[in-house]
Amino acid sequence: MDIHALQQIVHQTRDARRKQTIPKFSAADCDQLIHTYHPDYRASAYRPIRFGPNANDKTVIELAALLEGDSPIADNADLTPHYTTDVLVIGGGGAGCAAALHAHATGAKVILATKLRLGDSNSVMAQGGMQVSVAPEDSPVTHFLDTLKGGHMQNDHELLKVMVEEGPSIAKWLIELGVLFDRQADGNLHVKKGGGSSKPRLLTCSDYTGLEIMRVLKDEVLNKKIQLLEFCAAVELLSDDNGHCTGAIFKDLDNHRQVVVAAKSVILATGGIGRLHIQGFPTSNHYGATGDGLCLSYRMGAKLDHIDTFQYHPSGAVYPEQLIGALVTEGIRSEGGHLVNAKGERFVNELDTRDVVSSSIIRECEEGRGIRTMSGRVGVWLDTPLLDAEHGPGTVEKHFPAMMMQFERFGIDISKDPVLIYPTLHYQNGGVKIDTNSETNVKNLFVAGEASGGLHGRNRLMGNSLLDLMVFGRRSGLTAASRAGSMQQGTLTVKHLQRFRAEAKKHGNSSGVISPMILPAYTRKE
C-alpha cells in the first residue's frame, strides 16, 4: 500500500491519543517485557568466551569471536618506536579529545591517534543532549538514583557518583571553550527531560549537541597543536616485563606500514561495537565502531564488565531504505511524540527507559501490529507531526533541524508525516572495567568513554554518554599525565601476546579471525 495511505491512521487517531495518558509499566511488568522481547535475552545469540580474563562469561557470538581472535602482530615483530610520548590517546571522539586536552594542559607530551579523522565518531552524532543536574529542583543525587534505576541497579556506584558530581564542572569547562548550549530567557541553561529521568536535566544545542561539542573540542585539539596520527588504526598494545602498558602498534591505513608508539601510558577511547551488527541489527553507529579497544585490552589481560548487554535505541529509521538504522532522536519523544502501532494505538509510555521502549516495539511487531516494508523490514510509527499540533507549527523544524534535513533529502517532511522506526543497535552498555581514574586492572592502561564498562549498568540513560565521555576523558587524561613526570618509559614487548596465544592454544586455539576488525567488510566481493 502507498505509505501515505498507511500513515492515515496516525493522523486520524492523533486527537484521541492526545487525551490519553499511558502509565509506565510496573517493575515486574518491565522485567517480564524485557526478558521476553529484549535482544539481550535471546539465548541463542550468546556463547561463553573460552579463555582470557572473562573466560566462561557469556557475550554475543560476534564479539566472542573477536575477543578470542588472533593479533596481526608476530611474536618477534620489530618494536623500534617511531614516536615516543608521555600519553598516547587512541581514538578521536569525545573521550579521546577530552583526554588529550586535559593531559596536554598539564604540560605532558600527548599523541592522539585515530583510525579515521579527528572527530569522526559517534560523539559527533549525539543529538539528545548531555545530562547535568543544574536545575534548582534537581541534584547530583537524583541524577545518581535515576541512572541507577535505568541501569537496573547494576551500575558501579563509585564511577556513577564521580560522573554525576563532575557534570556541572564539565558543563562550565565546555561553556568557557565556547560551546553554545541552549538557554532560558534568564540566561540559565535550558534543560529538557529525557527518558528514564525524573527531572529535566538534558543540556542541548538544538539537536546538534554532539556536533557542537565536537566542533569545539576538535578545534581546541588543533589550536593546542597536539600531535595527531590520523588514519592510524591500533592493532596491538605493548607491555613491559611487569605486564604494564607501554605503548601501541598501529597500522597506517594510507600506506599499510606499521607504526610503533612508545608511551608512558595509553588511553583507549575507541568507542563501541555497532558495526559488528550484533544479531543482524542495523546500527546508528559510525563507520569505525568495531570494538577494537575491547580486543586490544582483553589480550593485555584487562577484565571486561557487563559485556553481555547492549543498547538497542528504540527509534532507528526503517524507511526510507537509505536511512536504515539511522537514529531518530529520543528528543522527539521527550517533547511528546507518540509511538503508534498499525492499529493506531499507543502501547508504551514513550518516556520509559530505552530497553523497555525497545522491547515494547519488538513485541508490537512480533505480535503482528507492525508496519512492513517491501524490503522485509518492520516497524511502528513515531508521530512527529504531533509536536507541531501540540506546541505550534514550526516546532519540529525549530527543535530538530538535523532530523528535518536528514529526511527532507529523501522527500519526507517529518513535520507532516510520521516516521517508521524499529530498534537499532546503538550502544555497548558494558566494556573494559575501570576505576574512578579510568584505569583498568592493567597498570598504565586507561579506558574512557563507550569502550569502558560499569558506569551505565545494564542500560544507559539518554544523555549520560556525552557526560561519561567528558568526565572520564578528563580523569584519564589528568591521571595519565600526572604520572609521566615521575616515571621512565618502560620496555616495549609483546609478551602479553605470547601469554595470550599460549592460553588460546590450551583452549583449542583462537577463533580463527584476526582482531581488531578496524573497519566493517562492506565492500562487495565479486
Partner 1 sequence: MAQEDANVIDQPEVLRHRMVTIEISGKKYEVPEGVTVIKALWYTGQEVVRGAGCLGGFCGACATYYRTKDDPKVRTCLACQMAVEDGMSFTIMPPFPARKALYDIQTLKDPKQDLFNLYPEAPLCRNCNACTEACPQKIDVREGVWKAVFGDFKSVSEMFMDCVMCGMCTPVCIADIAPNLVALYVSRAQGAHFTERPQGLETRIKEIQDGRFNEEWNKVLAMNEKELADHCATVK
Query: Which CB, 317 or 445, lies closer to partner 1?
Result: 317
Query: Which CB, 45 or 189, lies closer to partner 1?
Result: 189
Q: Which of 32, 35, 36, 141 binds partner 1 (CB under 8 A)?
A: 141
Q: Which of 120, 417, 439, 450 binds partner 1 (CB under 8 A)?
A: 120
Burial class (CB in 10 A: 0-12, 13-18, 19+), 6: middle
Which range touches partner 1 (CB under 8 A), out of 100-108, 284-292, 295-303, 436-444? 284-292
C-alpha R_g of the chain:
23
Query: Which CB, 6 or 389, lies closer to partner 1?
Result: 6
Least distance from C-beta 492 to partner 1, angstroms? 27
Active site residue 42: no
What does residue 239 show for φ and ψ, rounded to 5 degrees?
-140, 160
CA 268 distance to own-chain centroid: 14
Per CB under 8 A, does 2 bind partner 1?
yes
Burial class (CB in 10 A: 0-12, 13-18, 19+), 337: buried
Please tell me what DSSP assigns to residue 173: H
Least distance from C-beta 342 to partner 1, angstroms? 5
What does residue 363 show for φ and ψ, rounded to 5 degrees?
-60, -50
> What residues between 219 and 278 interact with partner 1 by CB under 8 A?
219-220, 222-223, 225, 231, 253-254
> What residues between 405 and 464 interact with partner 1 by CB under 8 A?
405-406, 409-410, 420
Helix (H) or strand (E) holding 110: strand 110-113
Cell numbers found for residue 484: 609521566
Per CB under 8 A, does 396 bind partner 1?
no
Cell 536535566: give the residue.
201
Q: What is each CA distance from 112 to 117, 221, 229, in whole angstroms?
A: 11, 9, 6
State how far the Cα of 204 lies from the Cα of 227, in Å rounded to an integer: 30
Cell numbers found for residue 38: 529484549
By CB under 8 A, the count of residues binding partner 1 is 91
Active site residue 496: no
**Considering all CA atoms of the chain, what is the largest pairwise distance in Å, rounded to the nearest integer?**
71
Least distance from C-beta 146 to partner 1, angstroms? 6
Query: Which CB, 70 or 230, lies closer to partner 1?
Result: 230
State how far the Cα of 126 lies from the Cα of 209, in Å rounded to an integer: 6
Per CB under 8 A, does 144 bind partner 1?
yes
Per CB under 8 A, does 321 bind partner 1?
yes
Per CB under 8 A, does 402 bind partner 1?
yes
What does residue 195 show for φ and ψ, rounded to 5 degrees?
-55, 135
Q: Which residues pair with 251 in a beta bridge?
A: 233, 258
Helix (H, G, I), strand (E, B) or coil at 83: strand
Per CB under 8 A, does 392 bind partner 1?
no
> What residues between 476 and 505 interact with partner 1 by CB under 8 A?
none
Query: Which CB, 514 or 519, lies closer to partner 1?
Result: 519
Q: Which of 18, 35, 42, 157 binds partner 1 (CB under 8 A)?
A: 157
Per CB under 8 A, does 352 bind partner 1?
no
Catalytic residue among 244, 313, 426, 496: 313
Cell 566462561: give the residue.
56
Q: Which of 20, 42, 48, 175 binds partner 1 (CB under 8 A)?
A: 175
**How many CB atoms sit inside 10 A of residue 3's CB?**
14
> What residues between 14 and 33 interact with partner 1 by CB under 8 A?
27
Q: Which of 8, 32, 169, 509 binds partner 1 (CB under 8 A)?
A: 169
**How many CB atoms sit inside 10 A of residue 184's CB?**
9
State how far the Cα of 432 lies from the Cα of 453, in Å rounded to an integer: 5
Catalytic residue among 299, 333, 399, 474: 333
Supply angle C-alpha 41, 44, 50, rounded to 5. Answer: 100
Query: Which CB, 113 or 302, lies closer to partner 1?
Result: 113
For residue 251, the number of C-alpha atoms closer than 13 Å in the C-beta half-sphere is: 14
> What residues between 55 and 84 interact with partner 1 by CB under 8 A?
none
Which range touches partner 1 (CB under 8 A), out of 1-9, 55-63, 68-76, 382-390? 1-9
Least distance from C-beta 438 to partner 1, angstroms? 20
The catalytic residues are: 313, 333
